[in-house]
Amino acid sequence: MRSIRLLDLNRISLLPAPAAAILLGLGSSANAQAIPWTSGEFASPWNATKIFEPSSLPDRTDPETREEIPPEDMPVKKRQQPGYEPVGIRSGSWMFNPSLTAGTFYDSNVFASNTNQRSDIAAVVEPTLRAHSLWGRHGVDLKLDAQQTNYSQNSSLNQTNGSLKGNGWLDITKDTMLLGSFQIAHLNEGVGTLTSPANAISPTPYNLMSGDVTLRKEFNRLTTSVGFRTDSYDYGSTRAQDGTVINQDSRDGQVYSLHSRIDYAISSTLGWFGGVEGNQRDIRGTPGHTLDSQGYRALSGITVGLSNLVTGEFGAGYVQQRFDDPSIGNIEGPSYRARLTWRPTRLLDVHFNAEQLVTQTTDTSATGVLANAVQLGLDYELRRNVIVSLAGGYENDKFFGQLRKDNVLTSDTRVKYLVNRFAAVSAYYRYTKRDSDVPVFTFDKHLVGMNVTAQF
């Protein structure tokens, strides 16, 4: 098992930049859904800190005779074909990977409005620097990035994001690891997102500080983990269409969670897991309507891994969130999460996701949200250096504390062309449609863009 774990960690160090970003906890940009589309898989053992993410079954072949996985057997979006992998800059026992992305996009409805629909073109510049260790034991992976977005006609939508995030692992013994992750960031929540105020004409800035410490222990076929996570949010203000300031201090607060997971490998193709996460959410809310709550989520199910053909995890359980505000009350009931990847050929990956979770939002009143989402997507290797990705999703958001239900439809099409190991070009089209019982939150928008990335 020691050799297996070291092999997994070596794979983490050699992952391409997009996969490394996922491992570092990089979330997708703010969108209209409570459950965003995930663009990749978590690699073991980082599911120990994301306990409801799929867990890889252990490889029980002889470490001495085990062959390295060829690129064509890796997931389409993770594989690195020879001649297209980034070079990197090595300094001692560290590897540095700088990159710079510049792009532009067209947005058909920049304010996500059904009455004030305006289109605009924006430019985006995003420098990134990743640094990761090459030590034989232990490891650190860091990522520093910034993003500047400027609109041609609607300067109120301009935003600047910056983030430093990282994770690390410490080998305590041959079967015990200490995992840690953190993020310090200044971000912006886009107009039209689930929690964006009605009639806002500018993003909502906020500062985020988060960290997680998890202890992971292996007992032959049994793997256990227990950890603690904290997230601290500090929101700024945004502006309404009439020029008034919308104060978002009501969303300030901290979220604390204690999590634990157990995995048992029944065989090389089947496993069982159980995970539970308890949370304490101390969110300020509005006068007379606090958003403080306590709750938990527990899931149990099976992990499957039929060679490279089918991998996935299916769990069911119970979720409960008790809000201190009696107008919201309790949100509880059966819960589920399913992840499945089917690889009918080495050129095609098909992904299916289904999930339920509880979150909260504030606008003029404090509310809780029960979100259910179903997502389907595929990644196709058209050529060794051309990847086509298609995705679609449906989400139902039920609000507690106000009479509102939303249905969200999304579609996403992307094409990525790897010019060589130093450059890549990508184009994308994204469609979002939200239908709400509260008409002010109903909108649809088209987003078309192109990016050019230089990397080393």
Rounded to the nearest 5 degrees, what angle is found at the Cα of 20, between the Cα atoms of 311 and 69?
Answer: 50
Residue with the bigger pLDDT between 30 and 139: it is 139
For range 400-427, the mean pLDDT: 93
The pLDDT tens digits of the residues spanning 200-235 come to 889 999 999 999 999 999 998 999 999 999 999 999
Please state, in angstroms and rounded to a whole number, the distance separating the CA atoms of residues 183 and 266: 36
The pLDDT tens digits of the residues spanning 65-105 come to 556 777 777 888 888 888 898 899 999 999 999 999 999 99
Half-sphere exposure of 396 (CA within 13 A, CB side): 5
For range 260-265, the mean pLDDT: 95
Asked if CATH classification 2.40.160 holds for the domain at 46-455, the reply, yes or no, is: yes
When mean pLDDT is compared across 36-40, 112-116, 443-447, the lowest value belongs to 36-40
Please state, in angstroms and rounded to a whole number, the distance separating the CA atoms of residues 328 and 289: 9
Half-sphere exposure of 5 (CA within 13 A, CB side): 26
Residue with the bigger pLDDT between 44 and 400: it is 400
**Which residues, 6+ apart, have CB-to-CB distance to 128 below 8 Å?**
17, 98, 99, 100, 101, 143, 144, 145
Residue 449 above 90 pLDDT? yes
Residue 6's region, left for phi above 0, alpha for psi from -120 to 50, else beta, is: alpha
Length of the chain: 456
Rounded to the nearest 5 degrees, what angle is found at the Cα of 1, between the Cα atoms of 90 and 337?
Answer: 90
Domain ranges of the chain: 46-455
pLDDT attached to residue 295: 93
